[in-house]
Structure 1
Amino acid sequence: MTTPAIQNDFSYYRRTLSRMRINNLPAECENEVNNELANRISLFYADATPMLKTLSDGTTRFVSENKNLPIENTTDCLSTMASVCKVMLETPEYRSRFASEDTVSFCLRVMVGVIILYDYVHPVGAFAKSSKIDMKGCIKVLKDQPPNTVDGLLNALRYTTKHLNDESTNKSIKLMLQ
């Protein structure tokens, strides 16, 4: 989401490589990407959040292919991870243990990532009242960070979740994300 130009840059690389082949210029180098891999890379970057899309597709596929495992096993794991990250970020005694802001940033990204995964996997999503994720608390933790550092994460919750705009979503949560 933060580097949308990467798709254009990769397309430029492919066009340049194609022109070099047409003109019989030596295009062979050790870093050249073959056509099959280039096509797969293009499809990967076609999504707004390619890594998140890959993770959510994989998690959804895991749940659907393993019907013998209760879906609660997966959703409980994801909600626990979100809760752990939230508590680590909002509690001063835990927060003071972080050696760098990179650790804080990592915890914020993990929290948002597992919320989005939970939203895709759980039948009613992360924003429903029956959700095991404290969405108001998680959004508050995000909003308590310096504004420029979490804009992308808030946008990820706004635009890549599946159930935010459902009628069952609490209006106060929708307002917090506006």
Structure 2
Amino acid sequence: MSLFFASSFPALLVIIEMTSDYLKKEENKTDLILNLILALASVCKDTLDTPNCLEKLKSSNKDELILRAMVESTVVYDHLSPAGAFCKKSAFPMRPVIQTVKNFSQESVSKELLGVLQHRSKHFNDPDTPRHLQLLIK
């Protein structure tokens, strides 16, 4: 057995760790940072759900990039928020985010990103996570 292993998402891990360290020093900015991450995910979701924007993104091959940004910001939010993104009282719009990922035109990308939400999220398997969200991802 090796003593060393690599993360499958090293950049995401660094972002989460650095932001967590910053929030430990600046506890009064937690809500501000979480709202900023929430806004990023919401803008990405709204952009992908707007037909005119989606057409322009597809023509320049940026639709997948926006989708990945939305999923990664969801994972970051889930790690930084004490309750996570999946709990009922979360401000994060998990159901619409999951639906946007599922409805993406490239099925392989959609499956990959649903796996990221399932396996990279901190609170996905918590008892507080609504069962319908878990079933929607699986």
**CA distance 1:177–1:99, change in 2 (3 Å):** closer
- Correspondence for 2:48: 89
- Does the alignment pair 1:173 with 2:124? no
- Correspondence for 1:56: 16
- Correspondence for 1:98: 57
* Rg larger in structure: 1
* Count of aligned pairs between the two proteins: 135
User: 2 CA distance for matches of 1:101 and 1:133?
Assistant: 28
Q: Partner amino acid for 1:149?
A: V
Deviation at 1:128, TM superposition (A): 1.1
Q: Could you state the TM-score of these two structures normalised by the residue count of structure 2?
A: 0.90
Q: 1:129 aligns with which of 71, 88, 106?
A: 88
**CA distance 1:155–1:99, change in 2 (3 Å):** closer
Report if aligned partners of 1:82, 1:110 keep a CA contact under 8 Å in 2.
Answer: yes
Q: Could you state the TM-score of these two structures normalised by the residue count of structure 1?
A: 0.70
- Does the alignment pair 1:164 with 2:124? yes
Structure 2 spans left out of the alignment, 5+ residues: none
User: 1 CA distance for matches of 2:4 and 2:31?
Assistant: 29
Deviation at 1:155, TM superposition (A): 1.1
Q: Give the percent of matched residue pairs that are identical in Structure 1 and Structure 2.
A: 29
Matches within 5 A, 1:141-152: 141-145=100-104, 146-152=106-112
Structure 1 spans left out of the alignment, 5+ residues: 1-42
